[in-house]
Amino acid sequence: MSYRRYNKDSSRGGGYGGKDGGYGRSTYRPGGGSSASYSDHGSNLRVPDWSSYQLQPFQKKFYMENPVVTSRSEQEVAAFRNLKEISIFASDPSRVPRPVESFIEANFPSYILKELAAAGFTKPTPIQCQGWPMGMSGEDVIGIARTGSGKTLSYLLPAIVHINAQPLLRPGDGPIILILAPTRELACQIKGEADKFGYSSLIKNTCAYGGAPKREQAKVLRDGVEILIATPGRLIDFLESKTTNLRRVTCLVLDEADRMLDMGFEKPIRQIISQIRPDRQTVLYSATWPEDGQVNRLANEFLRNPIRVHIGSSEISANKDVTQIIHIIKYAEEKDKLFEDILRKHKGGKIIVFANTKRLASDLAWWAKSWGYSASAIHGDKKQDEREWVLKQFRGNELTVMVATDVASRGLDINDVAVVINYDFPDGKGGIEDYVHRIGRTGRAGKKGIAYTFFTQKNSRRAPELIKLMEGADQAVPKELRDMHVYDGGNRKRGGGRFGDRGAAKRGKW
């Protein structure tokens, strides 16, 4: 395959003929923007009448099964899937390609194999074993796997092969691959992988996210990129201002789809998808899959006869490589003492601390610094360059303690985090799922990790879920947590305070 480049003189290209729709000014929304009402954001985007366009055909099926894979019996394939906890759901099982067991078997081009070797990878993860053949076969794919399981490369490497099979970009063309992500941090992490694996074939990419100046992002978009990684709100801005368009998108990736929906991005996602040709390939990755949830509904609407792959149990599960230690907190001052004790016990290792509010995150970072630790916080009130600086310092061991709100619970791939501390148990509507993602910041890439969680009576309604999760991960469940579950299941009166007694809270008791 030829190297990718931006061909200003080429007359080739995909997309469709016709005029662009009207675009208006940007408005405020989660993830970045300016002023006015979020409900009006993207309202000026015209939905194309795709039946009136003559869509240029494009190639999306380029998978050739390796003879070694072909030679395996159905019993061997089933045994491998069972070993790796790979479950397949498809209306027509004959359409499901067999899993691969090595990089060579995936039949990737030599330039990708070289990058995999240079990155130090030795074998694919389960989601990659099954996801790569599915993605390169041109199928619409749903991938469900826990955080830290290698989902990014499971869609990114087929995307690179997809790009190299398409005509070159022309002036004014938008991206070929669009990857939507819920947060700036995850978008930047995906970009890092795209830089690494797209470098040898000169594939250009960029990030578009809120909280950072638009000018530089807009310039790169106008110059032309094959891969655009974006948060929904900022992308709507650029579509309305005609900075870019989605006429060339032939593969759409929705990463951490459950998180995007939790953050209220369903409407922007629908607006964005309306701008993409309907015969595209669509790939959706998520950590959870409730059968009656928003993600399922979105997939049923926008994916065509998809193949769904689950890694592990279809229920929410925690990484068994993470030792979960639950501290039942009865008095407010217990948290501070435990926090300091845990920092001292693991001094020298990388620690991520989670808090539910931005103010508390800043306070905890200040306390850790006052105790002699190199610490800093990231949260939604921090400017993007500040957050990126903190992450860079943390990755480079200049910081050993990073305090964060749930902005860091997903998508941050830092393999040497030794300890996670949940100073607060997550209280958002994500609930136990947010807990799983938080503790998933440690115990990555086959390493062991420890997660400490401070659990108060206020959190008691989450006790049954937490107990079930811990038992599923072969963790020791403290008796106090079981007792709290039993107590909470009774007919006690719920009051206004944390213990049903506002006076007790004032006296220092939770």
Q: Is the pLDDT of residue 297 over 70?
A: yes
Residue with tokens 């995906």: 190
Q: Which helix or strand (DSSP H or E) is residue 135 part of?
A: helix 126-136
Domain ranges of the chain: 85-311, 322-506
Mean pLDDT, all residues of the chain: 83
Report how far residue 366's alpha carbon sits from residue 357's, in angstroms, rounded to the nearest whole number.
14
Tell how many helices (H) and how many strands (E) occur in the chain. Answer: 18, 14
- Of 16, 7, 53, 11, residue with least CA distance to 250: 16
Which DSSP letter does residue 409 get? S
Which DSSP letter does residue 21 get?
P
Cα 111 vs. chain centroid, distance in angstroms?
26
Of the given ranges (12-16, 211-215, 217-221), which has the lowest mean pLDDT? Answer: 12-16
The end-to-end CA distance of the chain, in Å, is 64
| Residue 330 in tokens | 């009865």
Residue 204 — pLDDT band, cuts 50, 70, 90? very high
Better pLDDT: 385 or 335: 335
Of 105-114, 384-393, 396-405, 489-498, the one with minimum mean pLDDT is: 489-498
- In what order do the strands lie in the sheet containing 86-89? 86-89, 307-311, 141-144, 281-286, 251-254, 177-180, 227-230, 205-208
Cα dihedral value 290, 293, 299, 302, nearest 10: 180
The answer to whether the beta carbons of residues 437 and 409 sit under 8 Å apart is yes
* Per-residue model confidence (pLDDT) at position 485: 65
Q: What is the dihedral of CA 292, 473, 310, 283, to 10 degrees?
A: 80
What is the identity of the amino acid at 272? I
For residue 15, pLDDT over 60 is answered with: no
Closest C-alpha among 25, 217, 251, 263 to residue 140: 251
d(CA 172, CA 161): 23
Residues 162-192 pLDDT 10s: 999 999 999 999 999 999 999 888 899 899 9
Q: 85-311 in CATH: which number?
A: 3.40.50.300
How many residues can be counted in the chain?
510
CA-to-CA distance for 34 and 346, rounded, in angstroms? 42
Element holding 456 (H helix, E strand): strand 449-456
Given a cut of 90, is residue 454 above it in pLDDT?
yes
- pLDDT (average), residues 205-221: 92
pLDDT higher than threshold 70 for residue 504: no
In the predicted structure, residue 6 carries a pLDDT above the cut 70 = no
Q: How many CB atoms lie within 10 A of CB 51?
A: 6
Burial-class residue 82 by CB neighbours within 10 Å (0-12, 13-18, 19+): exposed
Phi, psi for 335 (deg, rounded to 5): -60, -45
- Nearest alpha carbon to residue 498 among 339, 355, 361, 331: 331
Position with higher pLDDT, 374 vs 120: 374
Q: What is the mean pLDDT of residues 45-50?
A: 81
> 322-506 maps to which CATH number?
3.40.50.300
Rounded to 10 degrees, the C-alpha dihedral 375/380/386/388 comes to 90
Q: Do domains 85-311 and 322-506 have the same CATH topology?
A: yes
Q: How far is CA 90 from the centre of its chain?
A: 24
Pairing type for strands 227-230 and 205-208 reads: parallel
The answer for residues whose C-beta is within 8 angstroms of residue 258's C-beta and 6 or more apart is: 286, 287, 288, 293, 294, 295, 433
* pLDDT average, residue stretch 39-53: 75
Residue 509 has pLDDT above 70, yes or no: no
At 384-433, the pLDDT tens digits run 778 888 988 998 889 999 999 887 666 567 878 999 999 999 987 667 88
Name which of 78-82, 107-111, 319-323, 444-448 the model is least confident about.
444-448
Distance CA(396)–CA(392), nearest Å, equals 6
